[in-house]
Amino acid sequence: MGEAKRKQSATAALIEKFPNCYFCGGKRLATTREHMPPKSLFDNSYRPDKLVMPACSECNRGTSTADLAASIISRWDYLSNHQQDADHRKLIEQARRQAPDLLKEWTELGDPDEREQARRHLRNHGVSVPRDASVVTIGPRTICQLNLFAHKAVLALHFEHYRQILPVTGRVSANWKTKEDFAKGGVPAPLLKLLPKYGTLVQGRWNEPCLSG
Ligand SMILES: [Zn+2]
């Protein structure tokens, strides 16, 4: 079976089992398979075909900028490797077309003095920042996309665990932390306690069992 056919049949099988979109609470019928976390978050888009949710095209398309922002930001690593750099360049090109307002926000800090001030601020808050590290700004537009991404991730985990649409009376809450927050205390222990058997999607392995148990 060709790749396109295989995808089509996987989508049909998922929708037959779960006909409603998982992200808008089943308001619309699902027409696509949504990967969460998205393929673009993985090096060279090499991702196991797990954690896949039924989604309507509006939810799928409507969250693509959130996926893009998270995929780019996850590659802002001082010690990034060749593949991460290549993926980053490709994703930035996509952002140039799809979300120029985000690019503008990230590159707002043009003045070298302001950059140095930002580095100092991070160092004073326990984040180790190499002298020649680049600086980007994360403002309200980016935070809005990251919040959307976080809520989508929670809904995806809810689907993976319960295989039921979150009822309209249900609530999802996601809160994201900055590097300063992590430098202070890492991932909060109460949060890890909520996830006693969390699984992982392992980079570069297609059939890694995930969220089993
Ligand atoms: Zn939807």
At 27-61, the pLDDT tens digits run: 999 999 999 989 999 888 888 778 899 999 999 99
Domain-embedded: residue 153: yes
Q: Does 193 reside within a domain?
A: no
* Contacts with 25 (C-beta within 8 Å, 6 or more apart), sequence order: 165, 166, 167, 168
Amino acid identity, position 127 = V
- Report the separation in Å between the CA atom of 57 and the middle of ligand 1, taken as the mean of its atom positions: 7
| 198 domain residue, yes or no | no
- Please report, for residues 25, 49, 82, 115, 160, the alpha-carbon distance to residue 213 in angstroms, rounded to integers and kept in the order given: 25, 18, 35, 46, 11
Residue 201 lies in a domain: no
Return d(Cα 4, Cα 192) in angstroms, integer.
39
Report the separation in Å between the CA atom of 31 and the middle of ligand 1, taken as the mean of its atom positions.
9
User: 32 CA to middle of ligand 1, Å?
Assistant: 10
What residue ranges of the chain have pLDDT lower than 50?
Answer: 206-213
Q: Is residue 181 part of a domain?
A: no
Classify residue 127: in a domain, yes or no.
yes
In a domain, 174, yes or no: no
Ligand 1 centroid from CA 102, angstroms:
24
CA of 29 to the centre of ligand 1 (A): 7
- Number of domains present in the structure of the chain: 1
Nearest to 209 by CA among 49, 17, 44, 38: 49
What's the CA-to-centroid distance between 176 and ligand 1, angstroms? Answer: 23
Q: How far is the CA of 24 from the centre of ligand 1 (A)?
A: 4
In angstroms, what is the span from residue 126 Cα to ligand 1's centroid? Answer: 41
User: How is residue 40 written in tokens?
Assistant: 């673009």
Angle at which helix 82-98 crosses helix 64-73, to 10 degrees, equals 140
Domain that holds residue 87: 8-165
Asked if residue 3 is part of any domain, the answer here is no
Contact of 3 with 38, CB cutoff 8 Å? no
